[in-house]
Chain A
């Protein structure tokens, strides 16, 4: 039981950390890509949409190669650590949040910007208003990222190494316990993962329902 709790806590710790780090950069970038009229922004939008659907194992191998002894960051000895897992998850979650944020801006962009321009609202205040307008959608995008981080197996296994009491998370533990024939432990972990996933999904759905009921969106 102690081990299961440790695994659940490790999962929550790495997923919350990676989602927070990714969100800090991805939300402003998503807002920028939605608001900007520049060619670069127009080109970057489909890039992030594509990256959002990228196989996570690619993120895993990228981080593995960077952190392995022969890699450029090998001297930091970060491979098979929680930091390595968090880094891989950031790489997976970051484009997903960007790709979920910029479409929120597009439907209100023209009218919102013209209104702010007409009222001579300073840029800083415009951003504050925009974040307030899109708060449900932004939160839903971040929760979507968290759900993805929690459910990740391949990349986490590759860079975390599934080390007991260190880097073992729910998904990798389920794979291990199933392979070892410990179906009851795997099932307990599966139920815990399912409950967390359901909770996150329920929250995302309720928030999106709130957004879709709002004619401003």
Chain B
């Protein structure tokens, strides 16, 4: 469970976002949408404690894993990014990317880099997963496979997923909520 209370983030003397009171329930996917620069990534950073809000608070119960939008892959090999190589291999097979496991990270495309980062995140056990645009560079079919993997590996085990995405991604998931940032506020626009 994640609860944000009176959360405000100010950037360059301008209020970037203000959330009065919001609770993200456990065990479902929460998709957060909004224009570029509206504060979606800043919200994730405040939730994890990477940065502090200007006022208010965010409480996250349980363990969490956070995949930032701009992530780093550990060099030199893709394999160096996983503690459990066997599990990672299984997930890469699900993403039809098993061929990259022994490749050098510097030879990967943007989409392949995201697949490695996503698998690395999913290999880490936690209660809450915060994914900041995890599929933005992937092609359509890879994206659907990634959502399917998130569903199988996380949601079916009762994990909570908060995902920032610009795409309409409701279909692959059984239930969840879509939030939209507008005028510095976060509103639920869809529940299914």
Q: Interface size of B by Cβ–Cβ distance < 8 Å? A: 21
User: Residue of A at shortest CB range from B51?
Assistant: A114
Known: A111-B68, A111-B70, A216-B106. A118 touches B75 (CB 8 A): no
Known: A117-B48, A119-B120. A214 touches B71 (CB 8 A): no
B50 within 8 A of A: yes
Q: Mostly helix, strand, loop or mixed at chain A's interface?
A: helix
A178 to B59, CA, bound (A): 75
**A112 in contact with B106 (CB, 8 Å):** no
Known: A118-B67, A119-B120, A120-B124. A216 touches B48 (CB 8 A): no
User: Residue of B at shortest CB range from A129?
Assistant: B74
A5 to B184, CA, bound (A): 75
B72 within 8 A of A: yes
**A214 in contact with B65 (CB, 8 Å):** no
A215 within 8 A of B: yes
- The interface bits of chain B over 104-130 (1 if a CB of A lies within 8 angstroms of the residue's CB, else 0) are 011000000000000011001000001
**A118 in contact with B74 (CB, 8 Å):** no
Which of the residues A111, A114, A132 comes within 8 Å of B75, measured between beta carbons? A132
User: Residue of A at shortest CB range from B126?
Assistant: A120
Known: A214-B75, A214-B106. A119 touches B48 (CB 8 A): no
**A108 in contact with B66 (CB, 8 Å):** no
Scan residues 111-147 of chain A and give those whose CB is less than 8 A from a CB of chain B.
111-112, 114-120, 129, 132-133
Give how many A-B residue pairs fall within 8 Å (CB-CB): 51
B38 within 8 A of A: no
Known: A120-B65, A120-B124. A115 touches B72 (CB 8 A): yes
**A118 in contact with B65 (CB, 8 Å):** yes
A132 to B80, CA, bound (A): 10
B73 within 8 A of A: yes
Known: A119-B65, A120-B124. A133 touches B74 (CB 8 A): yes
- In the bound complex, residues from chain A placing their C-beta under 8 Å from that of B48 are 117-118
Least Cβ distance of B189 to chain A in Å?
27
- In the bound complex, residues from chain B placing their C-beta under 8 Å from that of A118 are 48, 50, 65-68, 71, 121, 130
- In the bound complex, residues from chain B placing their C-beta under 8 Å from that of A133 are 74-75
A213 to B76, CA, bound (A): 13
- In the bound complex, residues from chain A placing their C-beta under 8 Å from that of B80 are 132
- The interface bits of chain B over 28-50 (1 if a CB of A lies within 8 angstroms of the residue's CB, else 0) are 00000000000000000000101
Known: A114-B68, A215-B106. A119 touches B121 (CB 8 A): yes
Known: A133-B74, A133-B75. A117 touches B106 (CB 8 A): no
Least Cβ distance of A102 to chain B in Å?
18
- In the bound complex, residues from chain A placing their C-beta under 8 Å from that of B130 are 118
A116 to B66, CA, bound (A): 9
- In the bound complex, residues from chain A placing their C-beta under 8 Å from that of B106 are 213-216
User: Residue of A at shortest CB range from B71?
Assistant: A115
- In the bound complex, residues from chain A placing their C-beta under 8 Å from that of B68 are 111, 114-115, 118
User: Residue of B at shortest CB range from A133?
Assistant: B75
**B121 in contact with A117 (CB, 8 Å):** no
User: Residue of A at shortest CB range from B108?
Assistant: A215
6 new A-B contacts at CB < 8 Å, known A111-B70, A213-B106, A216-B75:
A115-B71, A119-B124, A132-B76, A133-B75, A215-B106, A216-B73
- 8 CB contacts below 8 A, A to B, read A111-B68, A111-B70, A115-B68, A117-B50, A119-B65, A119-B121, A132-B75, A133-B75
- A residues near B (Cβ < 8 Å) are 108, 111-112, 114-120, 129, 132-133, 213-216
Q: Which 10 A/B pairs are nearest by Cβ-Cβ distance?
A: A118-B66, A115-B72, A112-B72, A111-B72, A115-B71, A114-B68, A111-B70, A214-B106, A129-B74, A133-B75
